[in-house]
Amino acid sequence: MQIPKITLKAARVNAHFTQKEAAKALNISVASLQNYESGKTTPDWTLVRQIEKLYNYPIDFIFLP
């Protein structure tokens, strides 16, 4: 059975963070977060784990292009 996944942006919005707030909490630029959300770049595993904790959403359920 396939587990449905949500986008990185949807996970952020569901966690009630703006891009600016999330970027600040993750210690990255808003431009970097925008690139991750649009699929232009992929976050490294350390950042992925930080995102998982910040958004309180298992990374297994977040689609990373």
Domain boundaries, the chain: 8-59
Q: Tens digit of pLDDT for each residue in 6-55? A: 999 999 999 999 999 999 999 999 999 999 999 999 999 999 999 999 99
| Threshold 0.85, pTM exceeds | yes
CATH topology of domain 8-59: 434 Repressor (Amino-terminal Domain) (1.10.260)
pLDDT at residue 63, as a whole number:
85
DSSP bridge pairs for 6: 62
Tell me how far CA of residue 36 lies from CA of 1, 2, 29, 33, 54, in angstroms.
Answer: 27, 23, 11, 5, 15
User: Would you report the helix, strand and coil content of the chain in percent, each value rounded to 5?
Assistant: 60, 5, 35
Q: Tens digit of pLDDT for each residue in 51-65? A: 999 999 998 899 887
